[in-house]
């Protein structure tokens, strides 16, 4: 019943909009806060859910959005709508700039850069009195006007809800697009992602920038909410709360941030205890969710009520040998004078061989001879100290691994480097793209046109003899056969 | 003169950042995880010391001793509850769970201890000592000395004692260590206990200078984390040196530009430093094997 879910969502949206017509001023404020928080959550879901990177400084982008509209509409008298656009662009630009240092590192290092960024924005807003009004903030922010009509609280709330719906739709599109697959591949195994032609720095930068733009858009609508912004709304703890929204809702789930925002904003309202308990409550909630329901609310619900997309093997219908022959370039792999040392150990010295196209060439040797090292050098995972590797006429020895992969070199690994949290079919779909993901903008709005690619993938799986279900994650050695598929020199 | 005073206070704070950062180094090198609640562990040491010595009236030695024992226990608790369940499967969830447990500790302390900062009197901050014309509390000199002494002790103990060598073995190759009969999970728990003891010592040392309050740890912990990252979290000396450098830079910026700009400038420098050297100042990128 594929209409059940969209119907339920439409009903939910209808209910929320109906509520906004009867709600009082305070309820509208809470509703808007939920919507704005959900927007930041949707953006952060791209970074955390798809790409697996934690940011503890996203309140910085939220603040930038808020101050941008506040300053542009008060000091410069700009209308709200261009200010909104400017805020989003500014947040995105700063996101890209921050991504440069942030994404050379990952894990705790990235967390540190984002924490530092959040503090700089918060303290910068407090100190840059000329621009931001300092600790007193900016007052009397005018409400947005549309064709002369001044937007009241209800309109602001509905606008926020509308934007939240938009962001969720964009997320859903991105998730299924090649970019979404690429982000999950980079999350699951950066090494393997490089070996199939994905530029992981570019992918992560895109994710970071998108999450920054979302936070900026949300923050931009925060300033007309109370007609007032000050640095006290943008503390480090707020960044932690944004991450909490994504985790509680369900990391990587489209509607996760909606559930998370509802919990994070509404539950303290229902508990009605003093604000002091709020922080303790959130700490306990975060720990409890991580222990008991790491899939989050939406994830837990999906396990209970959802049906896994177990598409059975279908054969595909593409003639695999012909398809492979089309892609064979006949280029020879030529290695000359290759040498590398690890510390004091000379692992390879003056190695030379040629592997001609259309043939099987075997490299044999005893344990520790350096066979895997040769593979790693050819694929760009290591850089040689001497010598060169050429594919046809093209030197590839000092290219990064994703460019070597795009040139046409593919490999398997001693231990399986599958993208463990992606389905079998998705593993193939991303590998077959050989790093070509199309435009990011198209990924956000257009459905993926991958029917042809899916048929090729199914055929390759059948060719290799892999008969299991396609929709689930790869498990067990039987799926090792799937890796053989990536050797096929797809172009 | 202003710079000399900044030098002394920078050295003191810097060595405490370094001490907390040593805690990060210890757990990261053994298990690849960090205790993001390190800042609240520091606060725990100070609050417990205050409770034992002032509220309950015990002697300094007993008060400090018991406070540190409880800190060690807390470290074991953190590892058991917030880290061990999440390390399997290579997930990053321990990052957020240690943040969560730090928030919990800080707020429990807030309820129990109250939110007014209280001073911790100490014999070392009663009289000023004259150093080159500047009045300095003996504690301000004792702090960097203690910090460096602990760093030395860590190096010495890890190389000269059996337990220390077992720790180094786990750092270098967990699987081989296990095969040699070393109880790796106990080593990891011990590393967390050691890191919280370091934090507790730092808290007790700076308490007389900065007052004890439930929120004294958060910013400190974040800066100590920056120090650990900058020092290259894989090098104990790197981390200590980075701490001293950070403290000195921070004190200099405060002296020259005023305290409102301290956080902005130092955090901006952290980002720039990480952009230039993603493995920190002293760390090394390990050779990956695939």
Q: ipTM value of the model?
A: 0.86
pLDDT tier, A489 (very low <50, low <70, confident <90, very high otherwise): very low
pLDDT tens column, B97-145? 998 999 999 989 888 887 788 777 777 777 777 777 677 777 778 888 8
pLDDT tier for residue B285 given thresholds of 50, 70 and 90? low
- What secondary structure letter does DSSP report for B261? G
- Are residues A108 and B34, on separate chains, in Cβ contact within 8 Å? yes
Band (pLDDT 50/70/90 cuts) for residue A244 is very high
C-alpha B281/C-alpha A310 separation (Å) is 49
> What pLDDT was estimated at residue B170?
84
pLDDT at A58 over 90: yes
The beta-carbon neighbor of A119 closest among B101, B110, B267 is B267
Q: Supply φ then ψ for residue A229, to 5 degrees.
A: -130, 145
Region B228-246: mean pLDDT is 83
pLDDT above 80 (res A326): no
How far lies B82's CA from each of A394, B136, B140, B279, in Å?
A: 51, 41, 35, 26
A127 with B261: Cβ contact below 8 A: yes
Mean pLDDT, residues A408-415 taken together: 72
Distances (CA, A) of A476 to A12, A181, A418, A473, A481: 41, 22, 11, 10, 10
Residue A485: pLDDT band with limits 50, 70, 90: low
The average pLDDT across A248-273 equals 86
Can you say how many angstroms the Cα of residue A472 is from the centroid of all Cα atoms in its chain?
Answer: 20
pLDDT at A270 > cutoff 80: no
Is the pLDDT assigned to residue A274 strictly greater than 50?
Answer: yes
What is the pLDDT at residue A470?
62
CB pairs under 8 A between A and B: 122
For residues A398-414, one letter each, b for 16 or more C-beta atoms within 10 angstroms of the residue's C-beta and e for the rest, the string is ebebbbbbbbbbbbbbe
**A83 pLDDT higher than 70:** yes
DSSP A98-116: HHHHHTTS-THHHHHHHHH
Q: What is the pLDDT of residue A217?
A: 94
- Say yes or no to pLDDT of A487 above 60: no
* Max mean pLDDT range (A416-425, A476-485, B138-147): B138-147
Let me know if B277 is exposed, middle or buried by CB neighbors in 10 A (0-12, 13-18, 19+). middle
Output the pLDDT for position A215.
Answer: 96
What confidence tens digit (pLDDT) does each residue in A202-229 have? 898 899 999 999 999 999 999 988 888 9
Give dist(CA A355, CA A214) in Å, integer: 49
- Report the C-alpha gap between A179 and A183 in whole angstroms: 6
* Token code pair at residue A449: 């046109």
Give B211 to chain A, closest Cα distance, Å. 22
Residue range B229-256: average pLDDT?
85
> What's residue A249's pLDDT?
92
Q: Say if the Cβ atoms of B103 and A286 lie within 8 Å.
A: yes
Q: Tell me the chain A residues in contact with residue B106 when contact means C-beta distances shorter than 8 Å.
A: 279
Of A144-148, B47-51, B208-212, which has the strongest mean pLDDT? B47-51
pLDDT of residue A477: 38
Q: What is the pLDDT of residue A319?
A: 76
Q: Distance from first CA to last CA of chain A, Å, rounded?
A: 38
Sign of the CA dihedral running A295, A301, A304, A309: negative
Residue of A104, A113, A240 with shortest CB distance to B99: A240
CA distance, residue B27 to nearest chain A CA (Å): 13
What pLDDT band is residue A162 in, cutting at 50, 70 and 90? very high
Taking the CA atoms of residue A152, residue A154, residue A158 and residue A164 in that order, the dihedral angle to the nearest 10 degrees is 90
DSSP single-letter state for residue A332:
P
Q: How far apart are CA A5 and CA A73, in angstroms?
A: 40
Q: Which of A107, A126, A283 sits opposite B92 (nearest CB)?
A: A107
Closest CA to A466 of A320, A359, A358: A320
Mutate which of A54, A57, A96, A119 to test chain B, going by most B C-beta atoms within 10 A?
A: A119
Check A284 against B104: CB less than 8 A apart.
Answer: yes
């Amino acid at each position: 019943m594929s209409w059940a879910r969209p119907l339920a969502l439409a009903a939910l949206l209808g209910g929320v909009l109906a509520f906004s017509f009867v709600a009082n001023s305070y309820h509208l404020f809470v509703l808007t806060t939920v919507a704005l928080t959900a927007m930041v959550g949707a953006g952060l879901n791209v970074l955390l859910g798809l790409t697996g990177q934690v940011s503890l400084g996203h309140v910085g982008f939220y603040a930038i959005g808020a101050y941008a509209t506040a300053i542009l509409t008060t000091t410069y008298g700009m209308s709200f709508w261009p200010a909104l656009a400017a805020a989003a662009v500014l947040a995105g630009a700063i996101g890209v700039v921050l991504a440069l240092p942030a994404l050379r590192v990952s894990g705790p290092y990235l967390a540190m850069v984002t924490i530092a960024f959040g503090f700089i924005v918060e303290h910068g807003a407090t100190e840059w009195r000329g621009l931001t009004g300092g600790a007193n903030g900016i007052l009397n922010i005018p409400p947005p006007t549309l064709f002369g009509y001044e937007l009241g609280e209800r309109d602001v709330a509905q606008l926020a809800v509308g934007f939240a719906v938009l962001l969720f739709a964009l997320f859903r599109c991105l998730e299924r697009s090649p970019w979404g697959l690429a982000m999950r591949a980079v999350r699951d195994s950066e090494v393997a992602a490089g070996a199939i032609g994905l530029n992981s720095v570019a992918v992560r930068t895109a994710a970071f920038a998108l999450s920054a733009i979302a936070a900026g858009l949300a923050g931009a609508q925060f300033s007309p909410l109370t007609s007032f912004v000050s640095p006290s709304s943008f503390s480090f703890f707020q960044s932690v709360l944004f991450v909490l929204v994504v985790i509680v809702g369900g990391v990587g789930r489209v509607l996760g941030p909606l559930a998370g925002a509802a919990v994070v904003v509404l539950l303290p309202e229902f508990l009605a205890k003093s604000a002091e308990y709020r922080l303790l409550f959130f700490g306990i909630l975060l720990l409890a969710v991580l222990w008991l329901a790491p899939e989050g609310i939406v994830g837990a619900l999906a396990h209970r009520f959802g049906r896994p997309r177990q598409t059975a093997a279908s054969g595909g219908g593409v003639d695999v040998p012909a398809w492979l022959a089309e892609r064979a370039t006949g280029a020879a792999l030529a290695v000359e004078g290759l040498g590398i040392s690890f510390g004091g150990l000379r692992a390879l010295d003056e190695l030379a061989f040629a592997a001609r196209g259309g043939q099987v060439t075997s490299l044999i040797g005893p344990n520790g001879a350096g066979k895997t090292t040769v593979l790693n050098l050819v694929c760009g995972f290591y850089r040689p100290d001497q010598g060169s590797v050429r594919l046809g006429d093209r030197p590839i020895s000092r290219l990064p691994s994703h460019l070597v992969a795009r040139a046409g070199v593919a490999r398997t690994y001693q231990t399986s480097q599958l993208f463990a949290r992606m389905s079998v079919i998705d593993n193939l779909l991303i590998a077959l793209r050989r790093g070509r993901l199309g435009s990011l903008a198209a990924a956000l709005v257009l459905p993926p046109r991958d029917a042809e690619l899916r048929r090729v993938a199914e055929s390759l799986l059948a060719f290799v003899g892999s008969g299991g279900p396609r929709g689930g994650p790869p498990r067990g050695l039987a799926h090792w056969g799937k890796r053989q598929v990536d050797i096929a020199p797809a172009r | 003169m202003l710079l000399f005073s900044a030098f002394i206070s920078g050295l003191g704070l810097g060595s405490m950042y370094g001490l907390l950062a040593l805690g990060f180094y210890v757990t990261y090198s053994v298990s690849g995880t960090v205790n993001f609640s390190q800042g609240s562990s520091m606060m725990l040491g100070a609050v417990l010391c205050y409770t034992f010595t002032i509220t309950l009236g015990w002697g300094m030695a007993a008060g400090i001793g018991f406070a540190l024992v409880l800190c060690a226990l807390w470290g074991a608790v953190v590892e058991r509850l917030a880290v061990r369940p999440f390390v399997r499967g290579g997930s990053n969830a321990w990052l957020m769970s240690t943040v969560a447990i730090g928030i919990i500790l800080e707020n429990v302390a807030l309820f129990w201890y109250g939110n007014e900062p209280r001073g911790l009197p100490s014999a070392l901050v009663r009289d000023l000592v004259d150093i080159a014309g500047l009045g300095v509390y003996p504690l301000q000199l004792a702090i960097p000395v203690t910090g460096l002494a602990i760093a030395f002790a860590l190096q010495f103990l890890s190389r000269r004692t059996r337990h220390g060598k077992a720790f180094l073995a786990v750092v270098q190759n967990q699987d081989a260590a296990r095969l040699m009969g070393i109880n790796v999970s106990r080593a990891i728990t011990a590393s967390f206990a050691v890191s919280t003891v370091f934090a507790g010592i730092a808290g007790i040392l700076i308490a007389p200078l900065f007052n004890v309050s439930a929120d004294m740890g958060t910013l400190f912990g974040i800066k100590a984390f920056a120090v650990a990252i900058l020092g290259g979290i894989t090098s104990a000396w790197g981390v200590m040196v980075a701490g001293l450098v950070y403290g000195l830079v921070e004190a200099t910026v405060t002296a020259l530009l005023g305290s409102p700009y301290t956080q902005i400038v130092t955090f901006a420098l952290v980002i720039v430093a990480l952009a230039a050297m993603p493995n920190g100042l002293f760390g090394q990128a390990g050779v990956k094997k695939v």
